Amino acid sequence: MTRTLQRIFHFLILSSAFVLITAQREAETLLNWKNSLNFPTLPSWTLNSSSSPCNWTGIRCNGEGSIIEINLENSGLDGTLDRFDSSSFPNLSSLNLNLNNLVGDIPSGIGNATKLISLDLSSNNFTNQIPPEIGNLKELQVLRLYNNSLTGPIPHQLSNLQKLWLLDLTANYLRDPDPVQFKGMASLTELRLYYILLEAVPAFIAECPNLIFLDLSDNLITGQIPMPLLSRLKRLEFLNLTKNSVEGPLSTNIGNFRNLRHLRLGMNKLNGTIPYEIGLLSNLEVLELHENGFDGPMPSSVGNLRMLRNLNLKLSGLNSSIPEELGLCSNLTYLELSSNSLIGALPLSMASLTQIREFGISDNKLSGNIHPSLLSNWSELLNGKLPPELGNIKSLEELDLSENDLQGTLPLSITGLRNLNLFYVASNNFSGSIPEDFGPDFLRNATFSYNNFSGKLPPGICNGGKLIYLAANRNNLVGPIPSSLRNCTGLTRVRLEQNLLDGDISNAFGMYPNLEYIDLGDNRLSGMLSSNWGQCTILSNFRIAGNMMSGNIPPELGNLTELQNLDLSGNQLIGKIPIELFSSSKLNRFNLSNNQLSGHIPEEVGMLSRLQYLDFSQNNLSGRIPEELGDCQALIFLDLSNNRLNGTMPYQIGNLVALQIVRKAYTSSWSYRPRTGFSNGPRIVMCTGKSHIPANDASSLQRTFGKKKPTCPCTYPPPHAAKSDEHA
């Protein structure tokens, strides 16, 4: 028994000593290699009493303190691997030196790190041949050597790596492997050999039954596509032979590859017709046959490819009409048919391609009309700049380019489109000025919204007097409102908010009996509100918030019986709130905040039975809150803060069962005496300004609104129902 314990004790001592020796050797090897590099790097790599290699940058150890992973990707390493002794790392399973500036040979000693599972030496400047000793790494599953300057044939010893599932040798100067000695690799699922010097499809892939991803693009491969060889790859999903010299017809057997999702055969010398059997590839997402020598039609069977997202048939020799069935490929986002001999009209079925983002059809022999539903359904399709030749279409009456990715400036030539009655360029990335002379005689609808336009609105935008809809909101426009707008008495909607417009608008507008909506908010406009606005009797939205308007609110606004949103906030308006405003029974939003209004809140406020949002905050209003507010049964948001109001909050407000948010200001003369009616009343009380709630009222608040006393001050956004008409 004693001898057994002694043996165990000796074994533990020896094991511990071995672990310590291994760790020390690993550290010394790393430091030796670090010192061979050209520039100081890896400052944490140093031996001292408090440092362990397991704490060094890029190093990970196992529980015994032995290094199992070295990850120095993109670490600025400059040098060679000559003094990197792989045999010093008996437990190393992962080595990643990707994206550095390592040069010279890959050392043959790399084959001594026999526990490696992943080896990544890509994106360096390694030269000469791949060492065949890598074939000794029988546990290797991932090998990445792409983007170096490696030469010679692909060593057949790599086929000894029977656990390898990913092999990437892309972007080197490697030649074909020995077709006799290079064996199949049963575990291989992803093979990337593009942009090297292959002259044939490697024969060994026929013995890679689990291959899913095969990329042999940008090589020197000639001859026909070896269908008998490829047909053994039953699981293949990705096949890329782009940019080779593959020739001959595309076999009808292509339809047997039912798992294919990507088929990329562009930039070759394929000829004949595109086989009808291509339509059997029902899982196909990407089909590229561009820049080949096909002759004949686009097969109607393409309509069976319902998963298709990208279709590139540019310069492929097509000489038929576009099949109606193409419209069944409703997931298409990229469609390139340029530089063929396509004839006929664009089929109306293509209006179903609502996901299209890029569409090329130039340099064909198409004819006929473009149905309006085609363009109206293809949102976000166009990008780039508008060509000046656009101005040559003198008879053009409608131009809608909205919701694309167009940029640059509007060409001056658009001023020659005198027959335009509709001009939409909203929601793009246009910049610069709108051409000064733009103002077609028959223009009825114009939108410039949601761009980056600067400069002034064209002074003659309404010279024809027919404009009914003008929107230029959310730009950087400056200067005055064009005086020609006074001529457009048929205006129904005007949106110029969120610009930098300035000038006195006291007399800038005329009489607009059909005006339904106007928003001039968030500009730098000044002057007084004209009483003429009271003659726009069907106006439902009137917003001039966030400007520098002064003077009194004209009582004539009370004539706007259809008004639903009145927002004059953020100006310099003075005087009393006209009682006439409260005759607009359809008013839903009423905002006079941030002005210099004085006097009492008219008791007529109770007449606004549909009112949901009321904000009179930040004024000089005085007196009591009218109890008639309790008649505004639809009220959701109420803000009377930062005024000079006094007295008690009317208990009638407790009857407002829809009320969610109350902002109110107290002075020392205020008291708050909720009655039982508040049990269904406001759920959020916001106390702003100087607040004083007597102790007995605080306890009432606690009983009314819950267990916690309201905290002052509080800030909450207005409810969703009170948001502005963002997209009107």
- In this structure, the strands spanning 365-366 and 343-344 are parallel
What is the pLDDT, as a whole number, of residue 117? 98
Distance between first and last Cα of the chain? 92
- Percentage of the residues of the chain whose pLDDT score is greater than 90: 70
CA–CA separation, 634 and 606 (whole Å): 11
The mean pLDDT value for 206-222 works out to 97
CA–CA separation, 580 and 531 (whole Å): 13
Residue 130 has pLDDT above 50, yes or no: yes
Residue 676 has pLDDT above 80, yes or no: no
Taking CA 598 as the corner, what is the angle to CA 596 and CA 603, rounded to the nearest 5 degrees?
A: 130
What is the pLDDT, as a whole number, of residue 166? 98
Residue-by-residue DSSP string for 195-221? SS---S--GGGGG-TT--EEE--SS--
What is the pLDDT, as a whole number, of residue 379? 55
Residue 669 has pLDDT above 50, yes or no: no
CA–CA separation, 402 and 256 (whole Å): 44
Enumerate residues 6+ apart whose C-beta is below 8 A from 3.
Answer: none
**Domain locations in the chain?**
1-179, 221-381, 549-722
Can you identify the CATH homologous superfamily of domain 549-722? Answer: Ribonuclease Inhibitor (3.80.10.10)
CA–CA separation, 581 and 575 (whole Å): 14
CA–CA separation, 211 and 185 (whole Å): 9
DSSP annotation of 472 reads -
Q: Name the token pair of 614.
A: 């009321």
Question: Which range (48-57, 83-92, 186-195) has the least confidence?
Answer: 48-57
How many residues does the structure list for the chain? 728
Enumerate residues 6+ apart whose C-beta is below 8 A from 197.
Answer: 173, 174, 175, 176, 219, 220
Q: What's 1-179's CATH class?
A: alpha beta
Helices (H) and strands (E) in the chain, counts: 4, 52
| φ, ψ of residue 550 in degrees (nearest 5) | -130, 180
- Nearest Cα to Cα of residue 428 among 454, 401, 405, 399: 405
The mean pLDDT value for 216-235 works out to 95
What is the pLDDT, as a whole number, of residue 378? 66
The mean pLDDT value for 120-131 works out to 97
What is the pLDDT, as a whole number, of residue 392? 81
What is the pLDDT, as a whole number, of residue 506? 87
What is the pLDDT, as a whole number, of residue 100? 96
CA–CA separation, 300 and 327 (whole Å): 10
Residue 2 has pLDDT above 80, yes or no: no
What is the pLDDT, as a whole number, of residue 725? 41
Given pLDDT bands bounded at 50, 70 and 90, which one contains residue 90?
very high
Select the more confidently predicted residue: 702 or 314: 314
- Percentage of the residues of the chain whose pLDDT score is greater than 70: 86
What is the pLDDT, as a whole number, of residue 713? 32
Q: What's 221-381's CATH class?
A: alpha beta
Residue 558 has pLDDT above 50, yes or no: yes
Question: Which range (9-18, 525-534, 653-662) has the least confidence?
Answer: 9-18
Residue-by-residue DSSP string for 287-311? EE--SSEE-BPPPGGGGG-TT--EE
Contact 144, 166 (CB under 8 A): yes
User: What's the one-letter identity of residue 686?
Assistant: M
Q: Name the token pair of 531.
A: 């009483």
Given pLDDT bands bounded at 50, 70 and 90, which one contains residue 3?
low
- Give the mean pLDDT of the chain: 86
CB atoms within 10 A of CB 196: 22
Contact 165, 143 (CB under 8 A): no
Residue 666 has pLDDT above 60, yes or no: no
Residue 564 has pLDDT above 70, yes or no: yes
Residue 65 has pLDDT above 60, yes or no: yes
CA–CA separation, 408 and 399 (whole Å): 17
CB atoms within 10 A of CB 603: 15
The mean pLDDT value for 125-154 works out to 97
What is the pLDDT, as a whole number, of residue 464? 86
Select the more confidently predicted residue: 439 or 696: 439
What is the pLDDT, as a whole number, of residue 302? 96
Contact 139, 118 (CB under 8 A): no
Contact 126, 104 (CB under 8 A): yes
CA–CA separation, 480 and 320 (whole Å): 55
What is the pLDDT, as a whole number, of residue 389? 80
Residue 522 has pLDDT above 70, yes or no: yes
Residue 343 has pLDDT above 50, yes or no: yes
